[in-house]
Structure 1
């Protein structure tokens, strides 16, 4: 119930929707019940059981006012019409009232549905916006540990389940509940004895439905987890289709899909079996009670032991037959809501996840970069058992370039990730202009930095929007950045120039073209600090030359941290740090490191020159 209430709160202010929804649902229910209570006078006319003395009693009452009940109002005019127009006129009057009652019932039902749809749309939109916003602000390590397909499933499929299940439950919990109460009140007004006999089915049905709901929740949770695994498999397969086909792994992938799909099928089937059991059970119990009432009440009427007339008894049966519908809808809605509750819990779990890296209260806003970045005795571990960096220290002064080299997995990229505070050190500290990074706002810190990685991260958008990403740039600014990045010529050769859509992850461009667009994006940002993570290692010789020229222009008069695979690209760095197994094992300029006998850097240089 706590999950359910919290999900509804995303449509705040609730009174904006719930008040008119409850009001229109209540009025629709009143007219809905009235439709069947009008059967009594209708059948009384048809069976010629209208009592003139009772009609005169209604006429002797004071004329109706605003305080008069609907029943009193109807009885007064019913008696007037019967006196003036006789049976045929009264029959016409009752039929007209029934038509108007049905009209108003459906009118207010439509208005309540409109309010419900507005409520659903607002709740789901706000929920999806909240979960996406919270996900965007989670720390980088979260995305390394979570499968992307699982996140996509929570934001799309799970939120959709909330819309389908939770909102429908709200409708049943209010509109159908009012209708059920209205029917019960009408039944009690006709015969208390028969109604008390009939409602014994409620606790029996309630206990059965409660047991089903508990089991259905477990099935729903397993089903949503299986669906998330399927979405993850789709994402990985479609994103790596070149590898799948290159290794003739279609059969392997298909087997994985079949296992996940079969698990999902079984979970959905189990959930559906239990969910669908609620409806026939409720219906069978309802029909059984109706049969019991017919037997018990009919015997009383036929033997003359009941105060009910034949018209009242038939109307009672007609009204009671309608009780099973809202009761069944309510049980179906609550049983069906378990899938929505399970999905809602997965969504709320993501919303409640706290980022491991976040701004501390009162964090300072950096206005610029003036002096240096100092890394002091920094150690880092992704988890308690695996140490990635150990006692790393260096200074990166303004306008200087430091290069990180070493074997793969040595910790170079982790050092680069600590500078923009994608992670926090587990020991030691990093200072920018004498201020600990943890004392600065992440937004102002990262505003000082431009990052170009080995893998060009582009979006399925225009070239212009990819370069201007996050900046309100003019066309002139974007074109100038592209020229500096050696990208303008190939961009103009595209079908629509800067307005060309480059496909998913820039798939319509070559690796060198994608990298130059990434560099143009960094140039446009014009940051004082650059972080280049093996920006040329995946390129061919011609593309590398163009990209390296662009990088050289980008690095001019900037403070730069370079992770290099090819040593020829960092020979002019002010200092080279050789990182191996999480430690700095050598440091110095290119020519100095080459003089070290048995030095790690010298071995790397020798291997690359062969």
Structure 2
């Protein structure tokens, strides 16, 4: 019963995507109906020929030619009508799937960052590609086939009842048996199809993980382990597919063929039981032909039910993504006037993690000041930066930006006024110009000025097409330091009120680091600068240094004040001096 309860709401929701194409859909169904009628009229003409011409030996040439021409015209008409309806249904399917894919991508782009912490990327890619392709079959294959099959069944039964109602009643007994068969098939196939979609997504995820981590895999000779992992996922997918094929092989064509054979035996029994002349040979021919024709749509319906179930399961996975909670932001669209920050008694833990990553954090940051967060790995520096970006909802405590609670600020205002340069910046497979502007309208001259500021102009000028040179996938033709410089260049297009640098200078040589320090000093004049630093030499000029340990603030002050305390920061600084 649970399967039936889930089936109809998902099917109804999937069918909403074809609603905008109602007129084309009606036309396609009219063509399909006309083609089906043309196909079914053929046996009636042959039956008439057998009963009225062949059996009576009345060979009227004009009548015979009329029947032959009519039969050929009907078959040709059927072919053309079916061709055009197929084209129409496919057009509707492609347009509907494009809209569905857009909705899936729209939902994925608005997922909370926490979802990407727990959900494998390959699983999400599978929903956008494989699952939407499975749904496409609902529109261009399942719908037309089911409609055509149902129409054929009704037309064939109508023709049977018109010709001989006794035999038609016998043929009618096959329908409830097929319905029972379909319900049984649906009950057993749904859980298997869910497993198939899950394992297919798992295969995609494993491939995604393997290709992205190829350097590490080859470096540590992990090829065999990853090969086994993919092989296991493929085997589980194969075993689930085989179970469905066995189910199909037992419940679909063989069982239906058996039912048709039983009905045919009843026809033969009825034909031989009644006295001579009760049934005409032409009628028997028509019934045997119609029974064969009736078998085809019934088999088509049961086979399409398998495809329908796959579409429903795929739709279920898609709608789970579409309906999942989106990143929540406030509604306040007032621009921030300053970069003032107040972190008030904030505690935080990630989803499915009981232990707090941050514990009772209280920090007041003045506008246009230079603040540094330092601490050992796992101390909570990056987590605090993510909270300032508004990536995670704050359940305990509050963060205020320009005296406004961060959860009340709208997405557009937050993204315009609070920006971050990450340790591993994302570089798009596009031109240098687009990687800096990101669609914002700025002149080439300004881009070159920005490249001069971050000391990348020499590199870009050496490229074949200058700022219009296309960077490789994930910027693989740039060094890690150059990627970070390019990420800083993006920020300089429009100064935010708050700029966060998450270990942004960690992979840059000391010479470039000094140049970036000058850039940061100029940024300070326009915004609040928060630097998460591993290299303490980069933050000696900071107005305030916050030292974190196991999610707690253990020290706070200027560089000199913290050195005078000779506590945790002093030890970290002395240790780094001894290293360098």
Q: Same fold (TM over 0.5)?
A: yes
Q: Which residue of 2 aligns with 1:333?
A: 304
Tell me the residue number matched to 1:106: 79
Is the 8 Å Cα contact of residues 166 and 337 (structure 1) preserved in structure 2? Answer: no
User: In the TM superposition, what are the counterparts of 1:389-404 in structure 2 within 5 Å?
Assistant: 389-404=358-373
Q: Structure 1 residues 291-300 or 560-569, which shifts more? A: 291-300
* Aligned-partner Cα distance in 1 for 2:543–2:227: 52
Matches within 5 A, 1:259-270: 259-270=232-243
Structure-2 change in CA distance of 1:17 and 1:359 (3 Å)? farther
Contact 1:275/1:336 (<8 A) preserved: no
Query: Does the aligned pair in 2 maintain the 1:366–1:445 contact within 8 Å?
Result: no
The alpha-carbon deviation at position 234 of structure 1 amounts to: 1.0
Aligned partner (choices 275, 281, 286) of residue 315 of structure 1: 286
Deviation at 1:319, TM superposition (A): 2.0
Cα deviation for residue 478 of structure 1 reads 2.0
Aligned to 1:374: 342
Aligned mates of 1:557, 1:410 — CA distance in 2: 29
Aligned to 1:59: none
Q: Which residue of 1 aligns with 2:328?
A: 358
Q: CA deviation at 1:522?
A: 1.2
In structure 2, what is the Cα distance between the partners aligned to 1:497 and 1:286? 73
Partner of residue 12 from structure 1, selected from 11, 19, 22: 19
Aligned residues: 569
Q: Report Cα offsets for 1:21-71 as digits up to 9, x if no partner.
A: 2222222222221122211222235415399xxxxxxxxxxxxxxxxxxxx
RMSD: 1.9
Pair 1:475-2:444 in alignment: yes
Q: Structure 2 vs 1, CA of residues 317 and 15 (structure 1 numbering), >3 Å: closer, same or farther?
A: same
Contact map agreement 1:290 1:321 (CA 8 A) in 2: no
Task: Report deviation, 1:104.
Answer: 2.4
Structure 1 SS opposite 2:424: coil
TM superposition outliers: structure 1 runs of 4+ over 6 Å: none
List aligned pairs for 1:414-433, cutoff 5 A: 414-433=383-402
2:479 alignment counterpart: 510
Equivalent-residue separation in structure 1 for 2:349 and 2:166 (angstroms): 74
Structure 2 SS opposite 1:429: strand
Contact 2:339 2:527 (8 Å CA) reproduced: no
Instruction: Give the distance between the partners of 2:521 and 2:237, measured in 1 at CA.
Output: 53
Query: What displacement does 1:485 show?
Result: 1.3
Residue 406 of structure 2 corresponds to 437
For normalisation by structure 1, the TM-score amounts to 0.89
Aligned with 1:521: secondary structure? helix
Structure 2 matches for 1:84-123, cutoff 5 A? 87-123=60-96
User: Which one of the candidate residues 527, 540, 545 is aligned to 2:496?
Assistant: 527
For the residues of structure 2 that align with 1:543 and 1:271, how far apart are their CA atoms?
61
The residue number in structure 2 matching 1:34 is 41
**Does the 8 Å contact 2:373/2:381 carry over to 1?**
yes
Pair 472,279 (structure 1): closer, same or farther in 2 beyond 3 Å: farther
State whether structure 2 residue 570 is matched by structure 1 residue 570. Answer: no
**Residue 580 of structure 1 pairs with residue 553 of structure 2:** no
After TM superposition, give the deviation of residue 545 of structure 1 in Å.
4.1
1:251 positional shift = 1.1
Of 221, 228, 232, 2:201 maps to 228
Classify the secondary structure of the residue corresponding to 1:260: helix
Q: Which moved more, 1:3-12 or 1:179-188?
A: 3-12
Q: Tell me how far apart the structure 2 counterparts of residues 562 and 185 of structure 1 sit (CA, whole Å).
A: 80
Tell me if 1:345 matches 2:306: no
**Quick one: distance in 2 between partners of 1:555 and 1:281?**
78
Q: TM-score, normalised by structure 2?
A: 0.94
Q: For residue 60 of structure 1, what is the aligned residue in structure 2?
A: none
Distance 1:12 1:549 in 2: 59
Structure 2: 5+ residue runs without aligned partners? 1-7
Matching residue of 2:5: none
Partner of 1:457: 426
Is contact 1:17–1:118 with CA below 8 Å preserved after alignment? Answer: no
Between the aligned partners of 2:576 and 2:12, the Cα distance in structure 1 is: 63
Q: After alignment, is 583-592 or 168-177 more displaced?
A: 168-177
Query: Matched residues in 2 for 1:551 and 1:271: separation?
Result: 62
Kept after mapping to 1: 8 A contact 2:346/2:362: yes
2: CA distance between counterparts of 1:257 and 1:415? 37
- Alignment partner, residue 604 of structure 1: 572
- The structure having more radius of gyration, on CA atoms, is 1
CA distance change for structure 1 residues 350 and 50 in 2, over 3 Å: closer, same or farther?
farther
State the distance in 1 between where 2:147 and 2:344 align. 63
1:296 equivalenced with 2:270 (yes/no): yes
After TM superposition, give the deviation of residue 18 of structure 1 in Å: 2.8
**Paired residues of 1:471 and 1:525 also in contact (CA < 8 A):** no
Deviation at 1:304, TM superposition (A): 1.3
Distance in 2 (alpha carbons) for counterparts of 1:184 and 1:540: 83
Find the aligned partners of 2:433 and 2:269 in 1 and give their Cα distance: 79
Counterpart position of 1:285: 259
CA distance in 2 between counterparts of 1:16 and 1:402 reads 62
The alpha-carbon distance between structure 1 residues 579 and 178, as it changes in their structure 2 partners (threshold 3 A), is same
